């Protein structure tokens, strides 16, 4: 959320309120979500969002190591957010940065309220988020991808968690800031919600908004989250309808074989 000298760029929003990448003020970048793409993880999701490419993998609930970390009444949720060395323009050091450690904590805290951890005492649920390519809003995409991967892993959830950022750029309230808007803008506000009851599990803000701007930004973020939530559900449905088709095909083949034998 680094701010950059406003004078070092041309304008990001034109007189018709169109952004530099052609989007309207309240428009999301194109999003595609795929689930179940890693065979070794319990659940996984790959999220393409504009230029962001984020991979999430979930392991668990499973036996916890080291055992002394075990919680007697619930599962321990652990989260690791990492940026690959090639994910940003300047090579990112492979050593975990303070930012990655902070974001791992922030993402874990935004996912945990959705998980029925009390059903799995003394176990761990491990969430890994790899940013393969970054262009602003990767903590939000990490949350969205991770919660989709949790659902794919069959971890019991109160709801999916879905996140997106809103902010203020050149006096306008914008949905889904990309890297340049994040850096040049006056404010950036990532938000995660449980969409069913609109419970907020993450709300951060860098910069300043008036009370009225904050309310408008919050409403816009919730609308953005609702759109992304539909895509999460669609990605999960797609995988399971494919599995259903495969199972039905196998059942048909099996019953045909049985009939032939009779």
| Structural tokens at position 210 | 């008036």
Q: Is the omega angle on the peptide bond into residue 151 within 30 degrees of 0, that is, cis?
A: no
Q: Is 135 in the site for ligand UDP (CB under 6 A)?
A: yes
- Partnered with residue 200 across adjacent β-strands are 193
Q: Residue 54 is encoded by which pair of tokens?
A: 């984020």
Task: Mention every residue, 6+ apart, whose C-beta is less than 8 A from residue 187.
Answer: 167, 168, 205, 206, 207, 208, 209, 213, 217
State the virtual CA torsion across 21, 23, 29, 30 in degrees, nearest 10: -100
Contact 63, 174 (CB under 8 A): no
Shortest distance, position 136 Cβ to ligand UDP, whole Å: 4
Among the residue ranges 9-17, 112-120, 137-145, 156-164, the one whose residues contact ligand UDP (CB under 6 A)? 137-145
Does residue 31 contact residue 48 with C-beta atoms inside 8 Å?
yes
Query: Would you give the binding string for ligand UDP spanning residues 157-186, x where CB under 6 A is met?
Result: ----------------------x--x----
From candidates 56, 134, 151, 202, binder to ligand UDP by CB under 6 A: 134
Q: Binding ligand UDP by CB under 6 A: which of 138, 144, 147, 232?
A: 138
* Residue whose C-alpha is closest to residue 50's, from 20, 74, 94: 20
Q: Per CB under 6 A, does 136 bind ligand UDP?
A: yes
Comparing CB distances to ligand UDP, the nearer of 208 and 252 is 208
Q: 139, 168, 184, 229: which one contacts ligand UDP (CB under 6 A)?
A: 139
Site pattern 82..101 for ligand UDP (x: CB under 6 A) = ------x---x------x--
**Interacting residues with ligand UDP (CB under 6 A):** 1, 88, 92, 99, 134-139, 179, 182, 190
């Amino acid at each position: 959320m680094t701010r950059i000298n406003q004078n070092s760029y041309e304008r990001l929003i034109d007189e018709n309120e169109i952004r530099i990448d052609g989007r309207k003020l309240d428009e999301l970048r194109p999003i595609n979500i795929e689930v179940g793409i890693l065979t070794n993880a319990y659940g996984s999701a790959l999220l393409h969002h504009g230029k962001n490419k984020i991979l999430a993998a979930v392991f668990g609930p499973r036996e916890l190591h080291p055992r002394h970390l075990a919680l007697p009444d619930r599962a321990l949720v652990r989260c690791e957010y990492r940026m690959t060395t090639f994910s940003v323009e300047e090579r990112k050091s492979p050593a975990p940065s303070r930012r990655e450690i902070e974001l791992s904590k922030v993402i874990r805290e935004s996912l945990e309220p959705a998980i029925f951890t009390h059903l799995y005492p003394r176990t761990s649920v491990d969430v890994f988020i790899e940013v393969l390519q970054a262009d602003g809003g990767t903590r939000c995409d990490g949350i969205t991808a991770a919660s989709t991967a949790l659902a794919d892993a069959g971890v019991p959830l109160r709801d999916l968690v879905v996140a997106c950022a809103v902010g203020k750029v050149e006096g306008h309230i914008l949905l889904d800031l990309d890297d340049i808007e994040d850096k040049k803008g006056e404010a950036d506000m990532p938000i995660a919600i449980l969409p069913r009851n609109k419970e907020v599990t993450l709300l951060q803000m860098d910069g300043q908004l008036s009370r009225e701007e904050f309310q408008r930004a919050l409403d816009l973020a919730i609308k953005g989250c609702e759109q992304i939530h539909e895509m999460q559900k669609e990605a999960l449905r797609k995988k399971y309808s494919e599995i259903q088709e495969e199972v039905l095909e196998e059942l048909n083949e099996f019953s045909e074989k049985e009939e032939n034998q009779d």
